[in-house]
Amino acid sequence: MVELLFLLLPIAAISGWLSARKYYQKKLKPNNNKVGPAYFEGLNYLLNEQPDKAIDVFIRLLEVNSETVETHLALANLFRRRGETDRAIRIHQNLIARPTLKPLQRIEALTELGLDYMNAGVLDRAESIFLELQQQTPPPKQATKQLLRIYQQQHNWPQAIEMAKLLNRGSDQKVDRLIAQFYCELAESQIDAAPSLAQGHLKNAASYDPTCIRAMLLSADIAISKHQYGTAITELNNVANKNPAFIREALPKLHHCYQQLGKLADLKQWLRLFLNNHEHASVKLLLAEVIKQLEGAQAANEYLYAELNKQSSLPVLNKLLEFEQDPKQNLLPILSDITNTLLSRKPIYSCQNCGFTGKTMHWHCPSCSEWQTIQPTESNQTIKSGVH
C-alpha cells in the first residue's frame, strides 16, 4: 500500500508542474517565451551536479533574456554560501559585463562581486569595488560597511574612522564607541613618537565615548611619561568612577603615581574608600603592599589575616603566603576553609562536546542536546581508580 502511494508521487509532481507551466505560459507569453530548452538544460546540469556546465548554459541564456538576472544572482549567492567563491565571481563578473544591465541591477551585482572578493580574502579588489560603489548617490550602506571592515583588517584607522562617521548619520552609540576605539588605536601607535598628537586623538575618543576606559588609561600613560602625576591620578580616578570593573588595569599606574609624589598614605586612604563600595581582591592586594611599605610586613600580614577571616579568597591567601615568612598554626583553618570552598565549586561532570559543566549526571546534555557526551571529570576519575 505504502509503495503504491510512492508510485503516485511523481505523477502528482508532474501534473503540478504541467498546470504551473500552463499558468506561466499564459501569463508570460508575450515577453518570456524564451525560457525554453536551454533553461531546462541548465537546470539539468545543476541537478546532475555539473555546476560548471550549468553556469555556462545560464550565462549563454543571459545574453537573450534579461529577466533571469535575479535567478543568476540567487545562483551565485548559493555558490558563495557553499564556499565556491570562484564560481560566484564568474557569474557576477559576467552579469556586470552586460551593457544592457539596468543601473540598479548593476549596483546589486557589483555589491555581490565585492562580497565574493571579501569571502575570498582578496581585500584590494573588494576595496576598489566598494570605493566605486561609494561614488553613487546616495552611496549604498553596504559599501560603507564593507569598507569599514576592510580598513579595520588593514589597521588603517584614519580610513576606518571616515567610514564609521559616514555610517553614523543617525548618531548610533555603538558606532560612536567603535570610533573611540579607532582613535585609541591611533593614539597608541603615536604615544611614544608624538605624545601631543596622541593626546589629540584621545580627546576625540573621549568626545565620541565619554565612558571610554581605554582613552582614560592612555591619557594617564601620557601624563605619567611627562611626570604629571596629579593629572594621571585624575584620569585614573575617572576609571574607578566610570567603570570600577576595570580598576585592576589602573592600580599599578596609581601605585606608581602616588609613590612618585611621596603620598602613599593618600593612596592607602583612597584604596580603603574604594573597598567600602566595591569588593575587589586586586585592590586588597595593593592595599597590603602599601601597608607593608608604610608600616612593615607585620601590619600587612595582620590586614590580610583580617580580610581572610571575613571572606576566604585565593588571591589574598596567596599574598599572605608570599608575605608570611613563618606560616603559623593559625593559617591552617583558613587553608582548609579555602580548599573546601574551591572543591565545592568544582564541577563534577562535563560535556566533551560543548564544555557544559554540572554537579549531576545527565545522559542528554542540557546545553548542546547531544547524547552520552557528559563524563565525570578527570579528578573524579582519579579518585575512583584510587579506590579500586
Contact 177, 215 (CB under 8 A): no
> Residues in the site for Zn ion, rule: CB under 5 A?
351, 353-354, 356, 365, 367-368
Q: How far is the CB of 345 from Zn ion (least distance, A)?
A: 20
Single out the residue of 131, 197, 198 nearest to residue 166, CA to CA.
131
Q: How far is the CB of 365 from Zn ion (least distance, A)?
A: 3
**What whole-number distance in Å separates Cα of residue 198 and Cα of residue 201?**
5
Contact 171, 207 (CB under 8 A): no
Q: How far is the CB of 332 from Zn ion (least distance, A)?
A: 39
Q: What is the DSSP letter of 278?
A: -
Q: How far is the CB of 180 from Zn ion (least distance, A)?
A: 38
Decide whether 52 or 378 has the Cβ nearer to Zn ion: 378
How many H-runs (helices) and E-runs (strands) does the chain carry? Answer: 20, 3
Contact 206, 180 (CB under 8 A): yes
Contact 254, 233 (CB under 8 A): yes
3-class DSSP assignment, residue 371: strand
Angle, helix 173-190 to helix 195-208, in steps of 10 degrees:
170
Decide whether 293 or 377 has the Cβ nearer to Zn ion: 377
Contact 105, 72 (CB under 8 A): no
Decide whether 17 or 371 has the Cβ nearer to Zn ion: 371
Decide whether 19 or 369 has the Cβ nearer to Zn ion: 369
Sheet containing 349-351: give its strands across.
357-358, 349-351, 374-376
**What whole-number distance in Å separates Cα of residue 179 and Cα of residue 161?**
6
Q: How far is the CB of 360 from Zn ion (least distance, A)?
A: 14
Q: How far is the CB of 372 from Zn ion (least distance, A)?
A: 11
Contact 323, 304 (CB under 8 A): yes
Q: How far is the CB of 378 from Zn ion (least distance, A)?
A: 17
Cell 557569474, residue located: 91
